[in-house]
Amino acid sequence: MSENARILIVDDDEALLEALPEALRLRMNGIQIDTSQTALEALDLIRKTDYDAIVSDIKLPGMDGLVLMTEIKQVRPGTPTLLITGHGEHDLAVRALRGGAYDFVQKPIDRDYFVASLERAIRVRRLDRQVAEQRVELERHARVLHNVDRGVFLVDDDDVIRFWNPAAGVITGLDAENVIGRRVGEAVPGWAAIGPEVPIATVPGPGSIQAKTLPLEIDGRELWLSISGVKFEDGIVYTFRNLTEDRALDELKSDFVATVSHELRTPLAAIYGCARTLLRSDLRLGEEDSARLLELIAQESERLTRIVGDILLANQIDARRLRLTDQEFDPVGLVRDVVAEVEAGLTGKEGISIEAVTPESAALVSGDEDRLRQVLLNLIDNAVKYSPEGGRVEIELELRDSGLRIAVRDEGLGIPHGEQQRIFGKFYRVDPQQTRGVGGTGLGLYICRELARRMEGRVSVSSREGEGSTFVVDLPLLPSSAREQAVRVAT
């Protein structure tokens, strides 16, 4: 027990300093004993060495044992100190204990008692050290668990959650205080379905088991988690990673590649077909037919240019390379121009009427006219595209105190409630397989939202499935004179 233990004996009695260590070495196997005759020298040694126990005479020349003990408490608060008192010095002994001595022995020293007490002191000191080391270790683990970006939680043998780290809270949106102490099946919605599917390792350690990707639905939000567990004596520790975004982006990307290839192929095929027809020497095409084919080539080339333009613009937005200009323009004129432009592109087959509702005239506003034109073109194009049965599309311009408001209304397919936020996401399409026969890249609304944001405005939607949609663009674009006034007021 006392093996490798190291103690210090402080006493000015030379005979005792010779005899006591001898006696202890005989009884305590492997004990290392340093000795010192003065308190000052002893303090020096104590500063250098973390002894398992210190034995000191209560009466020392220069500094008495009680004062020495106080000094020891400062330097080594955890080291037990045994004091040797003279025969019958009960008062001193009691003061020693009050002062924090571990024990005292009276002269003449009862060796059995002394050895037993010293051994106990060494044992306590060692346990203290172990506890301190374990606490540091535990604190380190706790810090790691607190800061890892993986969700970690512990479920005990009664299926009750006992630990839930902050990442688990962030990923699932379930706070530790709402889940700890509850059964996992009740606290984590959908656990009943995925719990039995989670692979559990019986041997801890990295790579001992392959995590599985499983879905969890929390508050209508679908989460994809890559999750695995490790079985311990008192429960299972689960770790998981959030794959939702990777997975959603992967899906969107593959949809995007499919739709874009389709979107590019359709006009290309039309252009190629027209060009080949025009080139045929065996066909005598009249002027009207040739003109129609050429017109088609021009239209389809424009469509191609727009698709490629959208892709490049989305990239520019993502890379934050988009620069806005600021020039004066007439918003009424802009809305009328855009409507005329879309109308000119209609073949007439759509059975759609487009109407602009604007004030007669308006003051000039300052902003990026081309970007606003792009937003309106996208919205009106969509209104036409997603009105397969025809109907009325209305563009209303309002000049408010806070800026421009432009609403684009249609009587088309409408957008399911659950999709109304997602349609503004990059590549997002409600119907990626084009079962409704309407093509697109899923970039249009993303571009609208981002352009509006850059202009410090916003785009919002309200819609009912089957009844049509209204997209509203609010931009803080004010007549130049009002803007000057506003600036003056602010300064």
- State the residues that interact with ligand ADP by CB under 6 A: 382-383, 386, 410, 412-415, 423, 428-431, 440-446, 469
Both tokens assigned to 158:
């009664």
Residue nearest to ligand ADP (CB): 440
174-183 own/partner pairs: CB under 8 Å, 24+ apart:
174/218, 179/153, 183/158, 183/159
Shortest Cβ 475–ligand ADP spacing (Å): 19
At closest approach, how far in Å is the CB of 175 from ligand ADP? 34
Least distance to ligand ADP from the beta carbon of 410, Å?
5
Q: CA–CA separation, 227 vs 243, rounded Å?
A: 10
Q: From the CB of 446, what's the least distance to ligand ADP, in Å?
A: 6
Give the type of residue at 415.
I
Question: Closest CB to ligand ADP among 168 and 423?
Answer: 423
Residue 458 CB, nearest distance to ligand ADP (Å)?
16
Which is nearer to ligand ADP, 125 or 303 (by Cβ)?
Answer: 303
Minimum Å distance from CB 388 to ligand ADP? 10
User: Residue 230 half-sphere exposure, CB side, CA atoms within 13 Å?
Assistant: 12
In the complex, least distance from residue 379 CB atom to ligand ADP, rounded to whole angstroms: 7
Residue 213 carries which side chain, given as an amino acid letter?
Answer: T
For residues 58 and 445, which CB has a smaller minimum distance to ligand ADP in the complex? 445
Closer of 358 and 382 to ligand ADP (Cβ):
382
CB of residue 382 to ligand ADP, shortest distance in Å: 3
- Shortest approach of ligand ADP to residue 436 CB, angstroms? 8
> Least distance from C-beta 170 to ligand ADP, angstroms?
29
**For the chain, how many residues are written?**
491
Distance in angstroms (rounded) separating the CA atoms of residues 154 and 161: 6
Which residue's CB is nearer to ligand ADP, number 241 or number 303? 303
CB of 393 to ligand ADP, least distance (A): 9
Residue 173 or 345 with smaller CB distance to ligand ADP: 345
> Measured from the CB atom, is 227 or 408 closer to ligand ADP?
408
Q: Which is nearer to ligand ADP, 182 or 253 (CB)?
A: 253
Q: Which is nearer to ligand ADP, 376 or 445 (CB)?
A: 445
Nearer to ligand ADP (CB atom), residue 51 or residue 428:
428
Indicate the residue among 224 and 256 with the shorter CB distance to ligand ADP.
Answer: 256
